[in-house]
Amino acid sequence: MEHILEVQDLHTSFLTSSGEVKAVRGVSFTVEKGESIGIVGESGSGKSVTSLSVMQLLAGTGRIVGGSVKLNGRELVGLSAKEMRTIRGKEVAMIFQDPMTSLNPLIPVGEQVGEMLWSHDKALSKAEREARVVDLFQMVRIPEADKRLKSFPHEFSGGMRQRVMIAMALACKPDLLIADEPTTALDVSIQDQILKLMRSVQKEMGMSIMFITHDLGVVAELCSRVLVMYGGLIMEEANIFDIFEQPLHPYTMGLIASIPDLNQDKKKRLQPIIGSPPDMIHPPAGCPFAPRCPYACRICLEELPPVFRAGEGHSSRCWLLDEDAPSTGNPLKNRKEGQP
């Protein structure tokens, strides 16, 4: 397998007047060439900070305080802003949740995408740039692409603006596309169109995708492998089938139980995960999910669980996988013994 991205023991913090917010606390993973990987978790889990750390786009007091981020074998941590500008767009590009905050409202969309092309290839003439932008607009299925170059962002619907953002991200054919909740602000039918579009352009261009979302259902549409984050850590990693069929971490089980199912009994209520995320200025010594976990026992409160390997590409940071873990009430041991 050829790694496009290798993240090793990444630690990212924000300095605030109340103390150091340890948003990412030792995250390691790889993304292979042509692979689509999902990073899932609720707000504050560290998933977006992980992606912004890869892009070196941390706002304010955000700093990578430890670890390594290698893109195509090159270390990104410590590169200057100028060096990163040559990498962003060309090797790695990002799509954000709200295109209105990423597009300049005063510049026609065709010009904005053209600028991205020009920033990486100054030899392109205006006519060549416009022809490339029309191609890109056609690729992302913007109707009457040649007539829309001079339109302003406010003249597009939310879904069409997101297509412009995808066109801009694809402009320089990046090896890795990071999509941070790109469909959250869209209604369900448009969300489906955008996911289908991303799947087809990924196939066409053979790039890798890192999809950041709070929604496991969205990941199922697009990704072959999933990382579940909580409290700044990866809690479970597995392929998409194992995550849904054999989840090992109680947090993953909770996320799956909270997905609406059209076939389920209408009187059955969705099960929310009760409680709130941990305080990341003073993260707990033990498992960060312990206060919300129905299976928490004493060791969970005292010691951070290590990563337990449970099969090919499947791992979980949970004491339930320890061979000395009690079997009474342990959903994993019950499952092995064929109990419900």
Interface with ligand SF4 by CB under 6 A: which residues? 249-250, 287, 289-290, 293, 295-296, 300, 305, 318-320
Smallest distance, ligand SF4 to C-beta of residue 238, A: 15
Does residue 40 contact residue 229 with C-beta atoms inside 8 Å? yes
State the alpha helices, DSSP H only, in the chain: 47-55, 81-87, 99-102, 109-120, 126-139, 158-170, 188-205, 216-222, 240-245, 250-257, 298-302, 331-336
Q: Which residue lies nearer to ligand SF4 by CB, 160 or 228?
A: 228
| CA dist list (Å): 280 to 177, 210, 333 | 28, 24, 31
**CA 151 – CA 156 distance, rounded (Å):** 8
35 three-state secondary structure = coil
Smallest distance, ligand SF4 to C-beta of residue 95, A: 32
Q: Which residue lies nearer to ligand SF4 by CB, 156 or 319?
A: 319
Smallest distance, ligand SF4 to C-beta of residue 245, A: 19
Residue with tokens 């971490």: 249
Q: Which residue lies nearer to ligand SF4 by CB, 99 or 254?
A: 254
Smallest distance, ligand SF4 to C-beta of residue 9, A: 20
**CA 164 – CA 335 distance, rounded (Å):** 47
Let me know if 165 is exposed, middle or buried by CB neighbors in 10 A (0-12, 13-18, 19+). buried
Q: Which residue lies nearer to ligand SF4 by CB, 107 or 285?
A: 285
Q: Which residue lies nearer to ligand SF4 by CB, 95 or 321?
A: 321
Q: Which residue lies nearer to ligand SF4 by CB, 211 or 319?
A: 319
Does residue 46 contact residue 251 with C-beta atoms inside 8 Å? no
DSSP strand pairing (19-32 vs 3-16):
antiparallel
Q: Which residue lies nearer to ligand SF4 by CB, 49 or 320?
A: 320
Smallest distance, ligand SF4 to C-beta of residue 286, A: 7
Smallest distance, ligand SF4 to C-beta of residue 279, A: 16
Smallest distance, ligand SF4 to C-beta of residue 297, A: 6
Positive or negative: CA dihedral 142, 148, 152, 154: negative
